[in-house]
Structure 1
C-alpha cells in the first residue's frame, strides 16, 4: 500500500524526523572524557520536564515497566505494604508486579472509567495509624481506559492523613504531555518512558526521585543489581553510567528535550488538551461514549466504547487492513468493548483529523449507524474555532 502506516496508538508514538536523525549516530567511547558533556545536561534538563528542583533524575536503558520495579526495589524492604487503586490494565500490572516481588499489596478495585477515589484514599490512610503502608502507587494516566487521576489531590490526601508513605507515580503516558509537578505535588518517585510524550522509540526509562526517596534507598534491603539506583548515583555524579548506555536513546533524548523546551511545556499541555477535545467532539457526534467518566478524561488517549452488538476488534482490524492506521485495542476487561485513539506526542490538528476520518470509515464498514463525516465535521469546527 502506498504511503505509510499512521500510528494512532497511545504508544509507541510517532517519532519526529529531527529525533530520528539525532539518533542516527556512530558508536562512541562512553568512558571518554567528553561523555559527561552529553549525560550531565540530559539529567539536568530532565528535571525541568518533571518540574523538580530538589529531586534527582535518572536514565535507565529499559522501559516504564522497569521504572516501576526501580521505584519499588530501591526504596522498600521485602514484605512492605503498598497501597494501590486498580482502575485499568496498567494499574493492575503494577499491582501484580509488586505482588510478584514479594510486597504486601493492598489493592482497591475501582470502576474502569474513574480514577483514584481521593476521599476513600484519605479515609484509608487515616485508618493506618501504625503507618504500615510504606508507599502509595498512583497511576497518573491510565492508558487502558483513557483516565487521568488527580495527583495533587493524592498528595493532599496523604497530608490530610499526616501519613509518611512514599508517593510513587506512574507517569509513563502523562509526563511530557500532561501537566506534572513533582515538587509541588510532593511526588517521591516519578516514572516515565521514552516512547510516549518524549516522542522516541521504546528503550528509555526516565525517572526522578525526591530526597526523601533517595534517603530510603540507604535503608532498603531489597536485592537488586542492574536496576540499582546506588550504582547510578555513584557514576552519574561524574557524568558516567554504571554500564554501557544506549547511546541512540541518549542522543534522541537530547533532541526531544530541545523540542519540548522550544515549544514550552505549558504549550505542550495545551496542545494535547486541544487535540483530545477534538477527538471527544467526534465521539459525541458519532453517538458513542468514552470509557472515561466525567472529570477523568485523559488528554493523551481516548478509549471509545462500542455498542453491545459490535466488536471493537473488528474496527481495529478494518482500520489497519483497509486504511493503514493503527488503533489501540481494548485491554483485559475492555477487550472487544472498546478501541483507543492515541493523541500523544508529535501530533497536530491534521494528524487527528486523519485518525478521526480513518476511524469513521472503519466503523461505517462494520455497520455503525451514523452519517458519514459527522465526527470529522465536529472535530474540524472545534479545531478551526480554537486555532491560534
Structure 2
C-alpha cells in the first residue's frame, strides 16, 4: 500500500486560504464573503451572520470558492467504491468538522480547488443534493461508522482533610466561624421550644437539654406564646352582638329592588314581627340608622324649642338624652343620678312635682354603661300620672328582658337592630302611640329624614319614604323569626340565667360587681377591676391574646370597670369562655385569682335555675 500523502485541509486556515488563492493567481470570486468585506486573511462570515449548521457552512464555503453544488473528488470516489473507510485511529485523532474535510490521496484532483471530475458511478451534483437531505444516505452500500464510545470520566483524587488536633487539657477549644453560627442557631431553636420534643436525638439535640423546658421562661410567658396565635373571635360586648349563621346567609343573597313585590312581602312581615316583639298594636316606624337615629327621631318629633322635658340619667345613655334635647332647644330638667344607681320612682315623682308642666319624660330601660336595668313600669306610671308622654330607650333591652309597651303605658320605645335582635347595626325603630303622633303634629322642630308622619304614610302602603337598607331588612326578618320561634318568654329566661351565671362566676373569682346583683340585670355584667389593675389592660389583653372582645368603662368609669355582654345569640359556653379568659389575664397581671372556680360556679348557677 503506497504511503499516504500528507493530509491537507479542504478549507485551510485563514492565511493559507489567501495564500493558495494568490499562488494560483486566480481572482477571488465576487460572491466570496471575504471579497465582499475587502479583507484578506480574515473571515467576516462568522462576524456578520449567526452560526449555521455544518451542512450550511459547507455550502457557503463552496459558493465562496466558486464550486457550489459539486461534490469533492474523494467523496465521489467513496460513493463509487464504497470500500475504503477511513481508519478509526485517524478519525478519532481529528475533530468531526475536520474529518469531513479530509482529502484522500487516491482521489482525482486531491488538494485542488477546481471542481473535480466525478468518478464512474458517482452521482451528479443534483443527486448529491438530494442524497444529502435529512433522513437519506448518500451511499447506502457503505457501512455505517461505529459510534465512538464515551470515555469514562477521569476522577481526580483530593487530598484528605487535615485532622484538627485535640486541645490541650484546660485550654479553650477554638470553633470555626461557621461552626459558631450553627451552634448559635441550634441554641436559638432550643430556646424557642415551649415543650420538649418527643425524640430529641432525631433533631440533633442531646437528651439532657431536650427533656426540660427552658428555665428562663415563666409560665405566664409560655401561655402568652401559646395564645398569641389565637384566630377564633368571641364577641361579648353589649353591642354589636354575634349574628346567627342563618342571618349571615341572608346577607349574602343577591340584591333586590326596594319597590319590588318580593321586598314588599318581607317589609310587611318584618314590621308585623317588630310589633309582636314590642308587645304593641301601635305603629313601629323603621329607619335606616343606628339606635342614636331613633333617639333623635323621638326628640325631633316630640319637642319644640322652649318645651319643658325631664330626663332621668344614671349613665352614659341618659346623658345622651339630655344632650339631644338641649340640641333641639328644649328646656331640660335633668335628674342626674350617680352612675350605677337605679332610678327610684319616688324621686321621679318629686322631680315632676317640682318642675311643673313637663311635656315629655325620657327614660333609659337598660343602661349598658353600668349594667343597671330600671323599673320602667313603675317609672312610666309616675310620669303618666303627671300628664307627660313617656319615651324609653330600649336599644339593648328589647328582646332580652320583659318590656310591655302597651300594658305599661309607654308612648315611644326606641331600639336598634344590633343588640338582642341579633342583627348587624344599621336599623332603628320607634314604636309610637296615638298620643305621640298628635304631639308630633304640633311640634315645630325641623325634621326631614326622621319625620314620623312621612314614614308612617309610606309604611301604610308597604313602602319606605327613602331607600331602605334592603339586605338589613331581610336579615331582620330572619332574626325576628328565630327569636319568635324560640319564644319571648324562653328568651327572657335564657338571658336571666346567662346573667346569673356570669355574676356568680365573677363573685367566685373574688371580684366585685359594679352592676346590681339581681335577675333584672340580664343584659350586661359590669365588674370592678382589682386594685392596681387597669381595666383597659384587661380588655386589650383579652382581645389581643385570646380573641375575646369585651367592653371597658365609659366616661368617669374608664379604667375602673370592664363589662361582659350576654344578650342575643349567646349560650352558657360563651359565658364560661369569657370567665376563663378573665381568670387567665388577671392571674398574669398579678391578681390573687383562684383558677377554675369561676367556670365551675357559673355552670352550677346556670343549671340550678333551669326551667323545665
Cα deviation for residue 164 of structure 1 reads 1.5
Query: What whole-Å deviation, never above 9, does each CA across 1:202-230 have from its counterpart, x for those lacking one?
Result: 10102211111011121111101111111
Structure-1 separation of matches of 2:572 and 2:236: 13
Give the distance between the partners of 2:233 and 2:496, measured in 1 at CA: 24
Q: Which residue of 2 aligns with 1:157?
A: 382
Is the 1:147–1:296 Cα contact (8 Å) retained in structure 2?
Answer: no
Aligned to 2:415: 192
Q: Deviations over 1:11-54 (max 9, x none)?
A: 1000000111122222222123443212122112111111012x
- The answer to whether residue 246 in structure 2 is matched with residue 18 in structure 1 is yes
Residue of structure 2 in register with 1:117 after alignment: 344
Give, in whole Å, the separation in 2 of the partners of 1:34 and 1:375. 49
Which residue in the other structure is 1:31 paired with?
A: 259
Cα distance in 1 between the residues matched to 2:429 and 2:276: 12
Matched, 1:348 2:571: yes
Deviation larger for 266-275 or 350-359? 350-359
How do 1:1-388 and structure 2 match up within 5 A? 1-53=229-281, 55-129=282-356, 131=357, 133-159=358-384, 162-293=385-516, 298-387=521-610
- The answer to whether the Cα contact below 8 Å between 2:361 and 2:383 also exists between their aligned partners in 1 is no
After superposition, give the CA deviation of every residue in 1:246-301 in whole Å (9 maximum; x if it has no partner): 01110011001100110000000000000000000011112222212455862010
Gaps of 5+ in 1: none
The secondary structure found in structure 1 opposite 2:359 is: strand
Q: Which moved more, 1:284-293 or 1:33-42?
A: 33-42
**Deviating more after overlay: 364-373 vs 231-240:** 364-373
Measured after TM superposition, the shift of residue 174 of structure 1 is 0.2
With normalisation by structure 1, the TM-score equals 0.95
Indicate if the aligned counterparts of 1:112 and 1:291 stay in contact, CA closer than 8 A: no
Deviation, 1:386, is 3.5
CA, structure 1 residues 186+228, in 2 after alignment: closer, same or farther (shift >3 Å)?
A: same
SS state of the match for residue 289, structure 1? coil
> Does the Cα contact within 8 Å between 1:149 and 1:296 map onto a contact in 2?
no
Q: Secondary structure at the match of 1:364?
A: helix
> Bigger shift: 57-66 or 38-47?
38-47
Q: Mind listing any 5+ residue stretches in structure 2 that lack a counterpart?
A: 1-228
Would you say the 8 A contact 1:85–1:108 is kept in 2?
Answer: yes
More strand by share: 1
- When the two structures are aligned, how many residues end up with a matched partner? 383
Q: Which whole-Å CA distance do the structure 2 matches of 1:112 and 1:187 have between them?
A: 24
How far apart, in 2, do the equivalents of 1:385 and 1:116 lie? Answer: 30
- CA 1:2–1:286: 2 relative to 1, 3 Å: closer
Poorly superposed stretches of 4+, deviation over 3 Å: 293-297
Whether the 8 Å contact between 1:114 and 1:296 is mirrored in structure 2 is: no
Cα 1:71–1:16 shift into 2, 3 Å: same
Cα distance in 1, alignment partners of residues 519 and 558 from structure 2: 21
* RMSD across aligned positions (CA): 1.5
Distance 1:350 1:292 in 2: 22
Structure 1 distance, partners of 2:467, 2:323, is: 30
